[in-house]
């Protein structure tokens, strides 16, 4: 970038490279690392986290920031240089509040917690994970206190994933969503249920993998700068703009799990792969926020992947792959089946109409844990009771309940609200995309996604973290994050499927 001192860029590159090394070790832990290596991996991550934090909070970087802020005063505030300084200042100021020893210890604690979570989930034993989660909750409270005073103890956690957003704002958005989504679910409950039994047959995992690869290749995923592996919980990792990897999870008896998981993670990866090159190894080389990130994954998973136009093209191909299982299932039956609305135990497998209720449940539990009104020991019981209250079902064990998500083992409290916000943003973007690309559905029906990806590259991806999420959404759609388009799309789609 022009007019940015070389030394300033060198420091940012070092910070970025250390972050990439941390991400690579984390990716390895969730994919190929042997289970007995957790303790050593914890020390490695702690060392790298310490080095990165020391670099980020260095006096030299602070001095360079002050000089640059003076230098760019009066310049275009939306220039890449001005935004780089602004975003770096935000990261620097936040890091200054957090002790380096805490950062290193948190990296070690969460590395051990992840391995404990994997074992606990496999054996459905919350007791194995409980002491690790108690440590994480304690440390997240400490983290929040580094940013006191605050309006709410959850605000500092949320701000890590959604810059500038407050807990009160999320609650207001959710209060608009909840009654209308509950009303829709109740209306669907009065109608005859659609059949999706054909999705739960024996499907070759190798063939599922190959078909998923074909789909995301058509979406535009760049395999020269990415790869796909399997993991217990699907995720996307970026080690730089030239190395963005995804994972998926396959089941021999559930066709939807791996296919839609791959589409979802591909949406995340396309975002990272589309950030403009000049932002490489700087704080701008990431998504604007996790909600914006989630809008991309939910867009490809749901608005494209669960749409009727998409399957006009891809369903005949899928039937050729699985003729015995799907040969006698017509297109409309298949489309209705993959969009069946039914309260379910597992969030990542939840349908569009009930998904946000899973998020609201988790948000309430996280806030209670942070406020101290709920103990970790009481978490499984509270989880189960809320599942009954919200979705009318009770988990049979911890693996299908409180242990199903990986996020708490990584200390990612404050993250869950971004999933629901991402759903909302995806619908707002989709409304604008359909206006700008009038024949979008026709293109999707032909298996063509070039114009869609080009639009996302131009409007969203290229900017990385240059704009804050509310700014970006308003720049593109003309309004800030608003649930109206999302609620309308749900009512329209499921109104047709269930003949409401």
200 and 317 inside one domain:
yes
Q: Are 451 and 273 in contact (CB under 8 A)?
A: no
178-227, pLDDT tens digit by residue? 999 999 999 999 999 999 999 999 999 999 999 999 999 999 999 999 99
The residue from 91, 123, 155 where one domain ends is: 123
102 and 203 inside one domain:
no
Calculate Rg over the CA atoms of the chain.
22
Domain hosting 39: range is 6-123
Residue closest to 383 by CA, chosen among 139, 130, 118:
130
447-493, pLDDT tens digit by residue? 999 999 999 999 999 999 999 999 999 999 999 999 999 999 999 99
Q: Where does residue 333 rank: exposed (0-12), middle (13-18), buried (19+ CB within 10 A)? A: middle
CATH number at residue 318: 1.10.1370.30
| pLDDT reported for residue 174 | 92
Q: Does residue 2 surpass a pLDDT of 90?
A: no
Structure tokens that stand for 403 in this block: 């242990």
Whether residue 24 lies inside any domain: the answer is: yes
Q: For residues 111 and 411, what is the distance between their CA atoms, to the nearest angstrom? A: 10
Share of the chain residues as helix, strand and coil, in percent rounded to the nearest 5: 70, 0, 30
Q: Does residue 3 surpass a pLDDT of 90?
A: no
287 and 202 inside one domain:
yes
Whether residue 131 lies inside any domain: the answer is: no
144-174, pLDDT tens digit by residue? 999 999 999 999 999 999 998 999 999 999 9
Strand ranges in 210-361 using DSSP code E only, listed in sequence order:
228-230, 236-238, 244-248
51 and 188 inside one domain:
no
Whether residue 477 lies inside any domain: the answer is: yes
Whether residue 189 lies inside any domain: the answer is: yes
Q: What is the DSSP string of 298-329?
A: HIIIIIITTSHHHHHHHHHHHHHHSHHHHTTS
Residue closest to 178 by CA, chosen among 386, 21, 336, 476:
386
Helix/strand/coil for 4:
coil
C-alpha dihedral sign at 96, 97, 103, 104: positive
The reported pTM is 0.95
107 and 187 inside one domain:
no
119 and 171 inside one domain:
no
Whether residue 135 lies inside any domain: the answer is: no
Q: What percent of the chain has pLDDT over 70?
A: 100
174 and 115 inside one domain:
no
C-alpha dihedral sign at 203, 206, 207, 210: positive
Residue closest to 141 by CA, chosen among 416, 359, 367, 381:
367
22-47, pLDDT tens digit by residue? 999 999 999 999 999 999 999 999 99
Residue closest to 46 by CA, chosen among 116, 102, 95:
102
| pLDDT reported for residue 369 | 98
Residue with tokens 């990415």: 226
φ, ψ of residue 76 in degrees (nearest 5): -60, 120
115 and 34 inside one domain:
yes
Q: For residues 360 and 390, what is the distance between their CA atoms, to the nearest angstrom? A: 9
The residue from 106, 123, 140 where one domain ends is: 123
Count, residues in the chain: 500
Strand order in the sheet with 244-248: 228-230, 244-248, 236-238
| pLDDT reported for residue 74 | 84
Residue closest to 116 by CA, chosen among 130, 97, 137, 102:
130
Q: For residues 310 and 89, what is the distance between their CA atoms, to the nearest angstrom? A: 43
269-303, pLDDT tens digit by residue? 999 999 999 999 999 999 999 999 999 999 999 99
Q: Does residue 350 surpass a pLDDT of 90?
A: yes
The catalytic residue among 105, 118, 169, 265 is: 265
Q: For residues 445 and 11, what is the distance between their CA atoms, to the nearest angstrom? A: 48
Q: Does residue 1 surpass a pLDDT of 90?
A: no
Whether 10 is catalytic: no
Burial 93-129 (b: 16+ CB within 10 A, else e): ebbeebebeebbbbbbbbbbbbbbbbebbeeeebebb
The residue from 88, 104, 123 where one domain ends is: 123
Whether residue 37 lies inside any domain: the answer is: yes
Burial 46-74 (b: 16+ CB within 10 A, else e): bebbbbbbebbbbeebeebbeebeeebee
Whether residue 318 lies inside any domain: the answer is: yes
Residue closest to 305 by CA, chosen among 333, 338, 349, 341:
338
Taking residues 375-402, report their average pLDDT.
96
Average pLDDT across the chain, whole number? 96
241 and 381 inside one domain:
yes
108 and 244 inside one domain:
no
The total of structural domains in the chain comes to 2
Whether residue 93 lies inside any domain: the answer is: yes
107 and 209 inside one domain:
no
Helix/strand/coil for 78:
coil
| pLDDT reported for residue 61 | 98
68-107, pLDDT tens digit by residue? 999 998 889 999 999 999 999 999 999 999 999 999 999 9
320 and 418 inside one domain:
yes
């Amino acid at each position: 970038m022009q007019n940015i001192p070389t030394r300033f860029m060198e420091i940012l590159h070092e910070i970025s490279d250390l972050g990439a090394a941390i991400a690579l070790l984390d990716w390895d832990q969730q994919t190929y690392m042997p289970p007995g290596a957790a303790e050593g991996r914890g020390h490695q991550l702690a060392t790298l986290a310490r080095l990165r934090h020391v670099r980020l909070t260095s006096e030299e970087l602070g001095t360079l920031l002050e000089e640059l802020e003076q230098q760019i005063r009066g310049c275009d505030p939306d220039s890449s240089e001005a935004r780089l300084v602004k975003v770096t200042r935000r990261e620097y100021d936040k890091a200054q509040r957090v002790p380096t020893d805490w950062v290193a210890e948190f990296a070690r604690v969460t590395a051990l917690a992840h391995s404990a979570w994997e074992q606990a989930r496999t054996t459905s034993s919350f007791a194995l994970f409980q002491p690790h989660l108690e440590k994480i909750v304690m440390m997240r409270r400490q983290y929040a206190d580094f940013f006191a005073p605050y309006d709410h103890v959850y605000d500092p956690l949320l701000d890590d994933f959604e810059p500038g957003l407050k807990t009160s704002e999320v609650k207001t958005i959710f209060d608009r969503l909840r009654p209308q989504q509950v009303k829709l679910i109740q209306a669907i409950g009065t109608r005859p249920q659609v059949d999706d039994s054909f999705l739960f047959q024996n499907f070759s995992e190798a063939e599922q993998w190959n078909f998923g690869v074909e789909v995301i290749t058509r979406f535009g995923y760049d395999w020269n700068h990415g790869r796909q592996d399997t993991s217990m919980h699907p995720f996307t990792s970026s080690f730089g703009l030239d190395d963005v990897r995804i994972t998926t999870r396959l089941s021999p008896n559930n066709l939807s799990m791996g296919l839609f998981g791959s589409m979802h993670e591909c949406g995340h990866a396309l975002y990272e792969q589309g950030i403009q090159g000049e932002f490489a190894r700087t704080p701008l080389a990431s998504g604007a926020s996790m909600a914006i990130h989630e809008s991309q994954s939910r867009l490809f998973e749901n608005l494209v992947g669960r749409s009727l136009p998409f399957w006009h093209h891809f369903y005949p191909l899928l039937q050729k792959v699985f003729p015995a299982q799907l040969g006698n299932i017509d297109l409309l039956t298949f489309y209705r089946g993959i969009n069946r609305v039914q309260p379910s135990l597992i969030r990542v497998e939840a349908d569009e109409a009930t998904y946000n209720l899973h998020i609201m449940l988790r948000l309430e539990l996280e806030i209670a844990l942070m406020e101290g009104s709920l103990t970790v020991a009481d978490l499984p019981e509270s989880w189960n009771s809320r599942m009954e209250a919200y979705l009318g079902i009770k988990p049979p064990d911890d693996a299908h309940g409180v242990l199903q998500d990986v996020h708490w083992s990584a200390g990612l409290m404050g993250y869950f609200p971004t999933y629901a916000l991402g759903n909302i943003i995806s619908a707002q973007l989709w409304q604008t995309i359909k206006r700008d690309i009038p024949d979008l559905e026709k293109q999707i029906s032909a298996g063509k996604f070039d114009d869609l990806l080009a639009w996302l590259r131009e409007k969203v991806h290229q900017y990385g973290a240059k704009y804050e999420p509310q700014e970006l959404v308003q720049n593109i759609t003309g309004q800030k994050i608003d649930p109206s388009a999302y609620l309308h799309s749900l009512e329209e789609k499921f109104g047709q499927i269930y003949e409401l």
